[in-house]
């Protein structure tokens, strides 16, 4: 389990997910859980409410207590080459 704190992403007790939070508080704390089947999917859960992010591309909410198919996300991480010059 990984603990995350976001500056802008927040989830309310009503299940609303926003990306406009000005300050970091309890609503901006999340955990990442890895899917047990080894598929590499992640579920993002709010630490205060216990709700999972889920939905579609157009509508993201944070209202499910159990991670279902729409709450498991494939995360694409890109590693870019880094060059250091002096």
Backbone angles phi, psi at 27, to 5 degrees: -70, -15
Buried/exposed 34-66: b ≥16 CB within 10 Å, e otherwise: eeeeeeebbbbbbebbebbbbeeeeebbbbbee
pLDDT digits (tens, 9 = 90+) for 36-48: 998 989 998 888 8
Give the mean pLDDT of the chain: 75
Domains of the chain: 2-74 (2.80.10.50)
3-state DSSP assignment of residue 18: strand
**Taking the model in full, what pTM does it have?**
0.66
Q: Is pLDDT of 57 > 80?
A: no
- Residue 18 pLDDT: 63
């Amino acid at each position: 389990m990984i603990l995350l704190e976001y500056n802008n992403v927040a989830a309310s007790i009503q299940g609303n997910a926003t990306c406009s939070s000005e300050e970091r508080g309890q609503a901006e704390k999340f955990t990442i859980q890895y899917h047990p089947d080894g598929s590499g999917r992640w579920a993002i859960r709010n630490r205060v409410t216990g709700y999972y992010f889920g939905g579609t591309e157009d509508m993201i909410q944070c209202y499910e207590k159990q991670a279902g198919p729409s709450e498991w996300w494939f995360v694409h991480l890109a590693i870019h080459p880094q060059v250091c010059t002096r």
